[in-house]
Structure 1
C-alpha cells in the first residue's frame, strides 16, 4: 500500500511511495523525510536542459544586488564568539551598512526590544539590548530590509517570506541549544536560508511568467521546479552565496544538507537542527509552499539531533511567543 502525505500549506496530496517507519511519538505515526525522487508527482518533470540555466557567475551577480546586511550578521557572529569583544565594536560593525543601521535604530525603539526612552544612535541601540539580544535585533532588521519585494517566480509575498525566515531563525536558535550546536550560527542559517530563492527569483523575474512560475500542483518541492527552470536548486544557491560571503563552513554545509534528502545528511547535526526548525515553522503555519513537505518530525531526526520530544515541544511553544512579539516590530 502506498502512503500519502498532505502538504499542510497547499493541501495537495503527495504520494510518498515509501514504507512508514512505524515509529510513533505521542501517538503520531511519522515518516522518513522523503527524497526528491519519492516526492515526484504523477506529472513528469520537463526533460532536457533547464529553461533558464544560471551559472555561478550569474548567481553571484544577483547576490551582489542584495543588501549587505547578511554579511554584517556574519561579522557579528564572529565578534560575539570572542569574549574580548565589547559593545563599541559591535556598534561599529553595524554602522558599516547604513540602511541596516537605520533599521536597527528604528527597531530598538520598539517595545519588543525594550523601547522606552527613544534612542537615536547605533551605540545607544546596542547598549539598550546588550550582548544577549543584539544578534536578534540585527537579525530582525536584516530580514525586514533584505526581503524588500514579493517573489513573483515563486508566488510568495514579501510579508510571507519575511515572517517565515524570521520564524526559522528563531526556531533554529532555540533547538540548537539542545543539540550542542552554536545557537548564533544556527539563528543566522535559519534566518538567511532563503537567500537562494531570492537570487533565483531575481534571475528569472523578467523571464518566468504565467505557466512557468512555481506551481505546487505540479511540483512537490521548490528544488524540482528550480532544477527544471534554472538547473540548480535554491538550497545550493544559498550555499554558494554564503560560501562566497565567507560564512562558516559548518553553516554552509548544514544549508546544503538540511532538507535531509540522503541518509548521510542525518550525520550532520546542524543540518538536522535546521530541518527540525522547519517543522516548528510548519507547525505554526509559516512554512513556504515548496518547503512544507520536507518539514516532518520523526524519531530519526530527533535522535540524530540529540533532541528529546519534550524539548522540541518546549522550543516550539517558546519560539511562537517570541515570533509573535517580533513580528509586530517588522512593520
Structure 2
C-alpha cells in the first residue's frame, strides 16, 4: 500500500486553514493546535506518521497526538500542512458526517478508557483513526465505495458485515495497516485490528474492546435505533470483559463534548 501522503486522502479545509494560521503566529497556542489536529483523522494519522518516522528515532513510541505535537517543531508541522489535500468534490462518502462521527467515536473512546484508567490520549487516537480505511476505499475505488454506500451507510451497525463481503476486511483493519506502515505503536495497531471482534483475538486488547463499545454506540445512535434495538444489540460479552454495562455506555451521551479538555 502507498504511504499516507501518497494516498492523497482528503482533510478538513477548515482545520487545515486554522492550523496554518495558528502555526504562522510567533507563539502558537499549542492547545489549539492539538484540538485542530484532533479534529481530522487524516491530519492525525499524518502527524503520528511524522512523529514516529525512523529518522527521529522514536518509531513505535508516539501513540498520542499531544505527544506528537510536543516533539515536533513548528516548521515540521507547517510542512505537513502544506502537503495536505483539502476535500474538494465527492470521494464516495459523506465527508462531513465521516468527520463528525469519527470525532464522536474518539471522544467516547477516551471517556470509556478513563473509566477503566486506560490512557485517554491513545484511546482518542484509536477512535479517531479507526475509519481512515473508509477514505482509502473511497479515494482508490470510488465507484465501488459508492455502490456499497448506497446499500449500507458507513455508520450503519450492519456495515462491518458488508465490508467483509465487499472488501475482504473491515475498515479498521485497513486503518491498522496504515498505522503499521507509519511505524505507530503496537498498541494502536492491535486495537484497530481487533476493533470489530475484540474477543476473537489471540490476546484481548482492552482498548480494542473500548473502541468496539464506542463504535456500537455511535453507529446505533446514527441509525436512530430504539431502546429495544439497543438492548438486543449491545455487545454484552465485550461489556462484561471490561466491566461496563449498557447503561454506563449510554450515559456518556450526556457529556458536553465541547467542554472537554485537550485530546
Superposed pair shares fold, TM > 0.5:
yes
SS of structure 1 residue aligned to 2:128: helix
| Alignment partner, residue 110 of structure 2 | 173
What is the TM-score of this pair, normalised by structure 2? 0.62
| Partner Cα separation in structure 2 for residue 286 and residue 134 of structure 1 | 32
Deviations 1:260-292 (A, max 9, x none): 2654478221111001112332354279xxxx9
Do structure 1's residue 139 and structure 2's residue 139 form an aligned pair? no
Larger RCO (alpha carbons 8 Å, 6+ apart):
1
| Partner Cα separation in structure 1 for residue 195 and residue 86 of structure 2 | 22
Residues 142-221 of structure 1 mapped to structure 2, 5 A cutoff: 148=87, 150-152=90-92, 156-205=93-142, 207-208=143-144, 215-216=151-152, 221=158
Return the offset for 1:139: 0.5
Q: What is the alpha-carbon root mean square deviation over aligned residues?
A: 4.1
Question: Which runs of 5 or more structure 1 residues have no equivalent in the other structure?
Answer: 1-56, 70-98, 109-118, 327-331
Do structure 1's residue 103 and structure 2's residue 38 form an aligned pair? no
**Contact persistence 2:179–2:189 (CA under 8 A):** yes
| Alignment partner, residue 29 of structure 2 | 125
| Alignment partner, residue 7 of structure 2 | 65
| Alignment partner, residue 322 of structure 1 | 257
SS of structure 1 residue aligned to 2:144: coil
Do structure 1's residue 279 and structure 2's residue 221 form an aligned pair? no
| Alignment partner, residue 251 of structure 1 | 188
Residues 3-18 of structure 1 mapped to structure 2, 5 A cutoff: none
State the aligned residue count.
Answer: 210
**Contact persistence 1:104–1:137 (CA under 8 A):** yes
Deviations 1:216-250 (A, max 9, x none): 39x97444444444444322211110111122111
| Partner Cα separation in structure 2 for residue 215 and residue 273 of structure 1 | 28
| Alignment partner, residue 66 of structure 2 | none
Question: Which runs of 5 or more structure 2 residues have no equivalent in the other structure?
Answer: 44-83
Return the offset for 1:159: 1.0
